[in-house]
Amino acid sequence: MSPALFRTKNDKSKMSRKFYITTPIYYVNAHPHIGHAYTTIACDTIARRQRLLGAETFFLTGTDEHGQKIERAAQAAGKTPQEYADEISAEFRQLWKRMGISNDDFIRTTEDRHKKRVQELFRHIRDNGYIYKGTYTGQYCVSDELYVDGAQPGDPCPTCGRITETVHEENYFFKLTAFQQKLLELYANPDFIRPETRRNEVISFVRSGLRDLSISRSTFTWGIPVPDDPGHVIYVWLDALANYITAIGYGSSHAAAQETFRKFWPADVQMIGKEIVRFHCVYWPAFLMAAGLAVPKAIVAHGWLLFEESKMSKSRGNIVRTETILDVLGADALRYFLLREVVFGQDGSFSFDALVQRHNADLANGLGNLASRTLTMINRYFKGEVPYPSHAASRTAADDAIAHTARKAIREFTALFDQFQFSRALETAWALVAAVDKYIVENEPWALGEKQDEESRSRLATVLYTAAEALRVVTALAHPVIPDATAKIWAQMGLGDIKKLALNDLTWGQLPLSTKLGDVQPVFPRADKSAIERMQKMEDERRSAPMTEATAAGADTTMPTPASSLPASTRPAPEQKISIDDFAKVELRVGVVKVAERVPKSDKLLRLEVDIGVEVRQVVAGIAEAYAPETLVGRKVVIVANLAPRKLRGLESNGMIVAASLEDGKPVLAGFLEDVPVGARLK
Ligand code: MSP
């Protein structure tokens, strides 16, 4: 890590140092889930720490709203792309607000400021001679908005596996080939792409040879028009990547915006998920070089959050909503879990069990318990004022060991955190919590408190001072990660507003003596098994809900939802047609219900065994509020037989029962007037 990136020690320049950090901008074809929250939380934590270190910090996030994928998702939802983007973009903004994310701006690619500035960037690159017109014939993956070199018609996308579409268009091309050498020189800087594995992948990709990149499309209109040639829209990835500079004033004619751009660009950290490394590490620096602009200092790629062993994503249907966790445990629990549990850079699994376990072990029983027992004893034995520790000569080795562990925690936390090793950084800080817990147990302040002799009083004062000072150190270090709880602990310690903390100066022994404690309250109530069940239930019921506007709108663009199963309000506009081949991908079959029973502890779910002629399938359906299980046995239903299996409440569901979804959300099962054989295909 170059010391210039994170000057944390003896940073005399303080406010003169700037820090600019960005998240990817999220597509608006999916509702926010904890995969998105993961990146946003990691960036928020870094931004908060940088502010405490005295850097003038700019933290940017936003939404990516153009392109064919969004246009199609909007059509499927029966909305204009703008209406559709407005709704989902607002969901992201509201969620970040509810979580207390400290972003300084939120950019939407459909905003005027962005559109004008992207056109300016396009002109700039064109004027520099790096754009030409040509003809593109090849395969395109709409889901990834990616040109797939070397693919033949009908081939799947190597990234997501969906079938690519053939594109034959006159396009504008970007001379990516002109930058091959310059990019390789850029990668010689080991800080530019992290971690190392991603850097190696990018180097070998670029070494294997680049091709010029098509950067406009003319077969749809949902995008930013190419300057002077409005029949073309700018390729969505050029449009999207540019957000990192348009948001801070690039291309603006206003002096203040230009000044902001000069101050903050280049970005210090651009954080992304590992699936978009190529766009950020190859195309993005090449676009910038072509425009004569500086490249970012570091592109940092993290791994994926997995749920039930695969990447959490809308198209797999295995997402976990952030709101569920906020409702039950709060934002700090999620923040701590994601940064502590996932080794940054690698994939990590999410489960409600692990979340609650971490919450209880590290937050409720760990930091929370340390705070409440220490502060409660200061209240009880010293009338709520931080006591004076005894002078050095009468201190024990155990007291000094805590001071030593705290100093080590400050040092190691700083080094690890600045290398993005959040999990190990938190581990060091929590080693201090464990050491103090042990120290308290061994020194028995409650027993000392019962005695009135001077020696016991003085020992008690030292033990409680030491515990409180260690608590202050952990609270300061952990503040960027768990801002709400630590702000409360800080106030309970009588230290005022934690935002005023100068993290550069954090050392052992600064807790002011005689500080008057504030009102002491528990900060992390312990969660029990019912917390897991509540979260599980909330998620299962959302997933098993019969098709509603939200699920239809989020439908996979390469496997359109059959129009017949959409409620009237979401029927595709008449001009949007799917081919018979698209429809044929959905395997609808007649089945007969053999077994139906309630799923324990769920109001909405039924477990069905459905015979579809060739086999009996277990299906978990969200129809319990509309159908008593016994009325279903022997009934013929329509089942989507080729849906990927998913787990609901621990039960594998192998298919989906087709139902009409009425205004009140009540499902009505599809059926037949004539008798139909089991297993018959609907086509
Ligand atoms: N719109 C593009 C990015 C353009 S940036 C100029 C895009 N959007 S996305 O909505 O698909 O979000 C991608 C980002 O969301 C990932 O790079 C990652 O930061 C985050 N994640 C989405 N799902 C995730 C997981 N399951 N796990 C971890 N991060 C995830 O790509």
Q: How far is residue 383 from each of residues 371, 515, 634, measured CA to CA in Å? A: 16, 11, 73
- Nearest protein CA to atom 23 of ligand 1, as residue: 35
pLDDT at 545: 66
As a whole number of angstroms, the distance between CA 8 and CA 53 comes to 7
Residues 667/623, Cβ–Cβ less than 8 Å: yes
pLDDT tens digits, 194-237: 999 999 999 999 999 999 999 999 999 999 999 999 999 999 99
DSSP 8-class letter at 53: T
Question: Is the shortest distance between the CB of 26 and ligand 1 below 6 Å?
Answer: yes
Verify cis geometry, omega within 30 degrees of 0, for the bond prior to 230: no
Beta strands 299-302 and 269-273: pairing type?
parallel
State the closest ligand 1 atom to the C-alpha of 311, by its place in the atom list counted from 1.
26
Question: Is the shortest distance between the CB of 328 and ligand 1 below 6 Å?
Answer: no
For residue 389, what is the domain's CATH number?
A: 1.10.730.10
Question: Is the shortest distance between the CB of 51 and ligand 1 below 6 Å?
Answer: no
As a whole number of angstroms, the distance between CA 454 and CA 442 comes to 20
Q: What end-to-end distance do the CA atoms of the chain give, in Å?
A: 59
Asked if residue 461 belongs to a domain, the reply is: yes
pTM: 0.81
pLDDT at 615: 86
Residues 260/275, Cβ–Cβ less than 8 Å: no
Shared domain for 371 and 497, answered yes or no, is yes
Shared domain for 570 and 466, answered yes or no, is no
For residue 629, what is the domain's CATH number?
A: 2.40.50.140
Q: Give the end of a domain, one of 505, 535, 568.
A: 505
Quote the ligand 1 centre to 418 CA distance (angstroms).
23
As a whole number of angstroms, the distance between CA 509 and CA 388 comes to 11
Q: Give the end of a domain, one of 505, 524, 540.
A: 505
Shared domain for 487 and 584, answered yes or no, is no
Beta strands 651-653 and 656-657: pairing type?
unpaired
Asked if residue 593 belongs to a domain, the reply is: yes
Asked if residue 335 belongs to a domain, the reply is: no
- Nearest protein CA to atom 18 of ligand 1, as residue: 273
Asked if residue 473 belongs to a domain, the reply is: yes
Closest to 128 measured CA to CA, from 63, 204, 179: 179
Shared domain for 445 and 573, answered yes or no, is no
As a whole number of angstroms, the distance between CA 203 and CA 188 comes to 9
Quote the ligand 1 centre to 304 CA distance (angstroms).
9
Asked if residue 119 belongs to a domain, the reply is: no
Mutating to test ligand 1, I would choose from 43, 64, 315 the residue with most ligand atoms within 8 A of its C-beta, which is 64
Question: Is the shortest distance between the CB of 38 and ligand 1 below 6 Å?
Answer: yes
Shared domain for 567 and 501, answered yes or no, is no
Residues 585/113, Cβ–Cβ less than 8 Å: no
Closest to 640 measured CA to CA, from 626, 656, 654: 656
Give the count of domains, the chain: 2
Mutating to test ligand 1, I would choose from 272, 311, 339, 343 the residue with most ligand atoms within 8 A of its C-beta, which is 272
Q: Give the end of a domain, one of 462, 489, 505.
A: 505
Shared domain for 501 and 564, answered yes or no, is no
Q: Which residues pair with 58 in a beta bridge?
A: 20
Chain CA centroid to CA 321, Å: 11
Asked if residue 641 belongs to a domain, the reply is: yes
In which residue ranges of the chain is pLDDT below 50? 1-15, 547-575
Asked if residue 56 belongs to a domain, the reply is: no
What domain range includes position 652? 560-682
Q: Which residue has the tokens 């008798």?
A: 675
Three-state SS annotation for 363-375: HHHHHHHHHHHHH
Mutating to test ligand 1, I would choose from 21, 26, 142, 334 the residue with most ligand atoms within 8 A of its C-beta, which is 26
Quote the ligand 1 centre to 459 CA distance (angstroms).
54
Q: How far is residue 445 from each of residues 406, 492, 661, measured CA to CA in Å? A: 20, 20, 63
Beta strands 636-640 and 616-621: pairing type?
unpaired
Residues 236/67, Cβ–Cβ less than 8 Å: yes
Shared domain for 457 and 372, answered yes or no, is yes
Shared domain for 385 and 481, answered yes or no, is yes
Task: Record the tokens describing residue 31, joined without a space.
Answer: 């509702």
Question: Is the shortest distance between the CB of 348 and ligand 1 below 6 Å?
Answer: no
- Nearest protein CA to atom 8 of ligand 1, as residue: 26
Verify cis geometry, omega within 30 degrees of 0, for the bond prior to 480: no
State the burial class of residue 621 (Cβ atoms within 10 Å of its Cβ: 0-12, 13-18, 19+). buried
Could you give the angle at which helices 422-443 and 369-382 cross, rounded to 10 degrees?
40
Residues 137/177, Cβ–Cβ less than 8 Å: no
Closest to 356 measured CA to CA, from 532, 139, 509, 143: 532
pLDDT at 180: 98
- Nearest protein CA to atom 29 of ligand 1, as residue: 35
pLDDT at 665: 65
Query: Element (H or E) spanning 198, and its range?
Result: helix 196-207
- Nearest protein CA to atom 16 of ligand 1, as residue: 273
Shared domain for 597 and 496, answered yes or no, is no
Shared domain for 577 and 456, answered yes or no, is no
Question: Is the shortest distance between the CB of 27 and ligand 1 below 6 Å?
Answer: yes
Task: Record the tokens describing residue 105, joined without a space.
Answer: 């701006």
Buried (b) or exposed (e) across 650-673, using 16+ Cβ within 10 A? Answer: eeebbbbbbbbbeeeeebebbeee
Beta strands 26-27 and 56-64: pairing type?
parallel
Residues 566/547, Cβ–Cβ less than 8 Å: yes
pLDDT tens digits, 421-464: 999 999 999 999 999 999 999 999 999 999 999 999 999 999 99
Shared domain for 405 and 476, answered yes or no, is yes
Shared domain for 476 and 571, answered yes or no, is no
- Strand, helix or coil for residue 683: coil
H-assigned helices in 19-168: 34-52, 68-76, 81-98, 112-127
Asked if residue 133 belongs to a domain, the reply is: no
Task: Record the tokens describing residue 400, joined without a space.
Answer: 């000094």
